[in-house]
Chains A and B, each alone.
Chain A
Amino acid sequence: MAQALQRAMRDAMAEDPTVHVMGEDVGTLGGVFRVTDGLAKEFGEDRCTDTPLAEAGILGAAVGMAMYGLRPVVEMQFDAFAYPAFEQLVSHVSRMRNRTRGALPMPIVVRVPYGGGIGGVEHHSDSSEAYYMATPGLHVVTPATVPDAYGLLRAAIASDDPVIFLEPKRLYWSKAEWSPDAPATVEPIGRAVVRRAGSSATLLTYGPSVPVCLEAAEAARDEGWDLEVVDLRSLVPFDDATVCDSVRRTGRAVVVHESAGFGGPGGEIAARVTERCFHYLEAPVLRVAGFDLPYPPPMLERHHLPGVDRVLDAVARLQWEAQS
């Protein structure tokens, strides 16, 4: 996936001279995850820039660059390191188009490696998508597959609106039937896809939890469950159509994500599904999420992260009739 992201930036930079990559360590080092590897060498340090270590400054400077007509692609090194940039994000990036009535669009991509499962120490494993979702004016996108990593990042860079591009860290090294030379397509932002068709319940998920849900769906076959897995891909805008189409067919839904459940994306998604599909539902929409706690130390993270078993337990609880 890291390679696909890198190629997305390379292709975008080659096609459009206004695309600039910037962040801490993105130049000579190629990023701590090597996602920007080689870009400074190929396009020069003016277009792939090592900045001072200051997230608010990085994003704030990107705002000014966008005002002058550039398309900055900003890397925030880790999820929890992006918090100092929140004021720029919330007070300026997200609303600049609105407060200037369209005169100053903000075509900025903020790449945020997010989520746990890589044994990172404190402040290296947060899932911060709920904060971004709660900020009108931002798009929030997260790929789960290698082709999507390419296709969605290309769309994000091409977008005239700010995009929070959440990169699931533990999928950086995932491989797929995709080579750097393969023809690659741009994926439109705002469309969910059905990763696995099924008929007895829908798992609604995104990013790092997609492989977990696909594995759970395979395991559930033995229990007689034919699970559909929907990869949301975009949290803002939200694809109500694909989600509701699936849930209306299956009549049951579980939302699965890593970030804390309380106040998390799952609550919003469950509410939307309930509002739109109430008469089709055989059971309440359930959530499987991380616990409501600060991200735990790596030695305990496997107990926190929603795994296959926890997803299967929720699926079992969808036997609502039997319980009531």
Chain B
Amino acid sequence: MTVQELPGATAYPAWRLRTDPAPLLPDPEPYRVLGTEAAAGLDRELLLRLYDALVHGRRFNTQATALTKQGRLAVYPSSTGQEASEVAAALVLEERDWLFPSYRDTLAAVARGLDPVEALTLLRGDWHTGYDPRERRIAPLSTPLATQLPHAVGLAHAARLAGDDVVALAMVGDGGTSEGDFHEALNFAAVWRAPVVFLVQNNGFAISVPLAKQTAAPSLAHKAVGYGMPGRLVDGNDAAAMHQVLSEAVRRARTGGGPTLIEAVTYRMDAHTNADDATRYRADAEVEAWRAHDPVRLLERELTGRGLLDEERRDAATEAAESMAADLRGRMNADPLLDPMDLFAQVYAAPTPQLREQSEQLRAELEAEAGR
């Protein structure tokens, strides 16, 4: 029964009624393609592209994690186990579209084509954003939770006002859905019919707090209903399902259909960051159960079963990933050159008199240091 069909609905003033026929409620079970009959209809080239990206992404995650152990990264919030939704998010976007990643979504930025070293600048501690967001159409990695979501809405809204068919895809974790900015962004997007896709990666935990302590909703996708946008529940480890659902939401946004909320049900195989001890809040058995549902293995199984992946192809993907990792290691092992005077360069368009004074003070300190 829709709102319009409720008894006495005609008594409501017209402005209270929503006439969009798109179904709002998500299916009770996450949408899956791999391992089902529907997989037979999937495009071979797309599957292989997803496979390469997954192998690449997994290697990127293990390499970045290793770099934290070597002290080359200050921190790395790994997305191992979540590669399917990370790469799908990047691959469904056109060049003109924008990606709004959270701090865990470095991989999505890399899968979109960003140089891994530029993507890791923030986590390395060498400035905050290592690339030009406008040039790459990738917003800075957002550390505060959900605050990048209203940015995505504003950008998408501005693009639509300009007549550009640009879509913004905004990523957030399960914990981020509890923040006020999540609510405000979804509400704005729905009211403005902004071309935005919200992708919630539900990886089970907000650091240590499980989903059951985060929300009482049947699913995070259900939250869409209250805003008047469709909510979709997807198996976040199924790269093909992620690609399909995200593509459909992007198409809907691009053609004026408004925003969609997608919940990718997935699992964070590693700890929150290298500073976290995940054994305190979850059982090994749970982690092992999810390991059997690994996104790379899932797709590999499908491809092998259908005779689409031979050893040669698999080796090629592994080799490409290894060479990316070697290049990343090599370049991350070089110490970055930082100019302390850059501290003052971009606080304002032109430094205030106060900052000019302070920059002179630092310059004198540096000169004294050099002369010592």
Report the stretch among B146-154, B217-225, B243-251 that lies at the interface.
B146-154
Given contacts A61-B154, A91-B144, contact A102 B346 (CB under 8 A): yes
CA distance A84 to B162 in the complex (A): 29
Q: Which of A67-122 contact B (CB under 8 A)?
A: 67-70, 72, 84, 87-88, 91-92, 96-105
B15 surroundings in chain A (CB, below 8 A): none
CB within 8 Å for A68 and B162 given contacts A63-B154, A104-B134: yes
Contacts of A63 in B (CB 8 A): 150-151, 154
Given contacts A64-B154, A67-B155, A237-B354, contact A84 B347 (CB under 8 A): no
Contact with A along B134-159 (1 / 0, CB 8 A): 11000110001001011111111111
Question: CB distance B139 to A67 under 8 Å?
Answer: yes
| Residues B346 and A98 in contact, CB atoms below 8 Å apart | yes
A56 interfacial by beta-carbon distance below 8 Å: yes
Q: Does B129 interact with chain A (Cβ within 8 Å)?
A: yes
Interface size class of A (residues with CB under 8 A): 35 or more
A67 CA to B154 CA, complexed, in Å: 8
Q: Find chain A residues with CB under 8 A from B180 CB.
A: 56, 84
Q: A136 CA to B180 CA in the complex, in Å?
A: 24
Report the bound CA distance from A84 to B352 in whole Å.
28
> Once bound together, how far apart are the Cα atoms of A209 and B191, in whole Å?
41
User: Which residue of chain B is the closest to A159 with respect to CB atoms?
Assistant: B349
| Residue of B with least CB distance to A239 | B353
- A137, B188: Cα distance in complex, Å: 26
From A54, A70, A92, B151 is in contact (CB under 8 Å) with A92
- Min C-beta distance of A75 to chain B, whole Å: 16
Given A64-B151, A68-B158, output 20 extra A-B contacts at Cβ < 8 Å.
A46-B161, A52-B187, A54-B188, A57-B153, A57-B188, A60-B151, A63-B151, A64-B150, A68-B155, A92-B147, A97-B346, A100-B133, A101-B127, A101-B342, A101-B346, A104-B133, A160-B349, A161-B348, A237-B353, A238-B352
B181 at the interface (CB under 8 A from A): yes
Q: Which residue of A lies closest to B143 (CB)?
A: A91
Q: Is the Cβ of A88 less than 8 Å from the Cβ of B150?
A: yes
Given A57-B181, A60-B149, A97 and B158 contact (CB-CB distance below 8 Å): no
Q: Residue A19 at the B interface, CB < 8 A?
A: no
Determine whether the beta carbon of A238 is less than 8 Å from that of B150: no
Binding site for B on A (CB under 8 A): 46, 51-52, 54, 56-57, 59-70, 72, 84, 87-88, 91-92, 96-105, 136-137, 139, 159-161, 190, 236-241
Among A54, A72, A102, the most chain B Cβ lie within 10 Å of the Cβ of A54
How many residues of B are counted as interface, with CB atoms below 8 angstroms from the partner's CB atoms? 41
A61–B140 CB distance below 8 A: no
Cβ of A34 to closest chain B Cβ, rounded Å = 24
Q: Which residues in B have some Cβ–Cβ distance to A below 8 Å?
A: 127-129, 132-135, 139-140, 144, 147, 149-159, 161-162, 168, 180-181, 184-185, 187-188, 191, 342, 345-349, 352-354
Whether A57 contacts B158 by the Cβ 8 Å rule is no
A237 near B352: Cβ-Cβ < 8 Å: yes
* Chain B hits for A65, CB < 8 A: 154-155, 157-158
Q: Would A61 and B349 be within 8 Å (CB), given that A56-B181, A103-B132 are in contact?
A: no
Whether B134 pairs with A103 at a CB distance below 8 angstroms is yes
Lowest 6 CB-CB distances: which A-B pairs, in order? A60-B150, A64-B154, A57-B184, A61-B154, A237-B352, A64-B155
A67 touches B184 (CB 8 A): no
Contacts of B187 in A (CB 8 A): 52, 54, 57
Query: Contacts of A239 on B, CB cut-off 8 Å?
Result: 353
In the bound complex, what is the Cα–Cα distance between A61 and B187 (angstroms)? Answer: 11
Contact partner of A57 (CB less than 8 A), chosen from B134, B140, B150, B155, is B150
Q: Within the complex, what minimum Cβ distance (angstroms) separates B287 from chain A?
A: 33
* 23 A-B interface contacts by CB (under 8 A): A57-B181, A60-B181, A61-B153, A64-B158, A65-B158, A66-B154, A67-B133, A68-B155, A87-B147, A88-B150, A97-B347, A100-B129, A101-B127, A101-B129, A101-B345, A101-B346, A102-B346, A103-B135, A104-B133, A190-B353, A237-B353, A238-B353, A239-B353
Nearest B-chain residue to A137, judged by Cβ: B347
Residue ID in chain A nearest B344 by CB atoms: A98
- Could you tell me the distance between the alpha carbons of A97 and B159 in the complex, rounded to whole angstroms? 21
Chain A min CB distance to B179 (Å)? 9
What residues of chain A lie closer than 8 Å to B188, measured between beta carbons?
A: 51-52, 54, 57, 61
CB of A67 within 8 A of CB of B347, answer no
B-chain residues with CB within 8 Å of residue A241 when the two chains form the complex: 353
A67 closest partner in B (C-beta):
B155
Interface centre among A64, A99, A237, A241 (most CB of B within 10 A): A64
How far apart sit A237 and B347, CA to CA, in the bound complex (Å)?
12
User: What residues of A have a CB within 8 angstroms of the CB of B144 in the complex?
Assistant: 87, 91-92
- Contact among B151, B184, B348 for A97, CB-based, below 8 A: B348
Residues of B within 8 A of A100 (CB): 128-129, 132-133, 140, 346
- Across the interface, B181 reaches (CB within 8 A) one of A51, A87, A104, A160, namely A87
- Structural contact, B128 and A64, CB atoms closer than 8 A: no
A62 to B185, CA, bound (A): 12
Output the least CB separation between B254 and chain A (Å).
16
B129 x A99 contact (CB < 8 A): yes
Contacts known (A46-B161, A54-B184); A103 close to B151, Cβ less than 8 A: no
Question: With contacts A64-B155, A99-B140 known, is A57 near B185, CB below 8 A?
Answer: yes
B156 cross-chain contacts in A, Cβ below 8 A: 64
* B155 contacts across to A, CB distance below 8 A: 64-65, 67-68
In the assembled complex, the Cα of A87 lies from the Cα of B157 at a distance in Å of: 21
How far, in angstroms, from A51 to B181 measured CA to CA in the complex? 15
Least CB distance from A70 to B in Å reads 5
The complex places the Cα of A161 from the Cα of B162 at a distance, in Å, of: 22
Asked if A52 and B191 make an inter-chain contact with CB atoms under 8 angstroms apart, the answer reads yes
A62 contacts across to B, CB distance below 8 A: 154
Instruction: Across the interface, name the chain A residue whose C-beta is closest to B122.
Output: A99
Give chain A residues whose Cβ lies under 8 Å from the Cβ of B133.
Answer: 67, 100, 103-104
